[in-house]
Chain A
Amino acid sequence: MRVHTLAVQARIDTIPALTDRVFVGTARKRDGSLQAPPYVVLYPADGVDGTDRLTGPKVIQNPRFTIHIVGTSGDNVQQITEKVKPLFVVGGRAIEINVPGEKGSGLFWDSPTPIQWDFDVPDRLYQVIELGFTSEPA
């Protein structure tokens, strides 16, 4: 849901170096060129909704995000990641992302692969993060 995406986007946008540099779906400009690093791209998915009871109206949403943190070097990517992660995992504890009318829980932050280099764009590297949480009626 867009509201979940906005919540994640707004949180990362608070980092001064990434203000207005958190994009959804693509980091391409209107002319087709890519933004200059550093920047972050969110690829949101609604995930699969769940229910506790077949007879109940309660729907548990599971928003999921594939996040690309793009920088100019491996070190640069890690520096940015070090700023982004504490916005979601503080001192080893996951935060709750609450949107109006819903209560968030069960946030996870995964880094499934090493930092990657794109053959097509040799001047930048990127880190893939998988972020997701559960959101249910408040």
Chain B
Amino acid sequence: MADGVSIDFSDLYTLAAQLDNVAAEFPKGARAAVEGAAYTAKEQWRKGLEASDVPASASTVQYDVEGGFPAIGATIENSGGTARLQGYAYAREYGSVTVSPTRPAAAAAQAAADDLAKGLAIAGERAIERALGS
């Protein structure tokens, strides 16, 4: 007659090791999410400017993704093209004494924020899937 209870923890140890891998799997997906959101912001902003009276101002919009996990950042700015086109893009965004603001960059940032949230959720799911399959 047995006088004790024995529990097999080996699966739990395996699961713990697999979950540890989530942190290693996540950064690649997170960077893709940031890159995707930055691209969305750039394209949306460009479309807003292309629909304006000076479509060439769309050429001023550029973006860059920098850093790595845990701090990945993207900069989207109207730094390209001529100063005149940059000035037009500025006036389109913030307005001037004679021009009303139309905020294409703000709308683009909103679209990018939604994209980023979706992208990070997907990155998280895939990181867990990959880690559990490791």
Contact = CB atoms under 8 A, between A and B. Distances in A.
Majority DSSP secondary structure for residues of B touching A: loop
Interface of B: 90, 94-98, 100-101, 103, 106, 110
Given A45-B103, A66-B103, A113-B90, A34 B110 contact: no
B110 A120 contact: no
A26 interface: yes
A25 B100 CA distance: 7
A33 to B, nearest CB: 11
Contacts of B100: 25-26, 43
Contacts, number: 36
A16 interface: no
Contacts of B96: 116, 118, 120, 126
Contacts of A112: 94
Interface residues on A, range: 10 to 19
A124 interface: yes
A48 interface: yes
A126 B99 CA distance: 12
B97 A118 contact: yes
A23 B43 CA distance: 33
A95 B134 CA distance: 52
Given A43-B100, A45-B103, A112-B94, 15 more contacts: A26-B100, A34-B97, A43-B101, A48-B110, A64-B106, A66-B103, A113-B90, A113-B94, A118-B96, A120-B97, A120-B98, A121-B98, A126-B96, A126-B97, A128-B95
CB-based closest 6 A-B pairs: A118-B97, A118-B96, A128-B94, A121-B97, A66-B101, A120-B98
A34 B96 CA distance: 12
Contacts of B95: 43, 66, 68, 128
A48 B97 CA distance: 26
A40 interface: no
A116 to B, nearest CB: 7
B94 A34 contact: no
A34 B98 CA distance: 8
Contacts of A116: 94, 96
A63 to B, nearest CB: 14
Contacts of A26: 100
Nearest to B84: A119
A112 B90 CA distance: 11
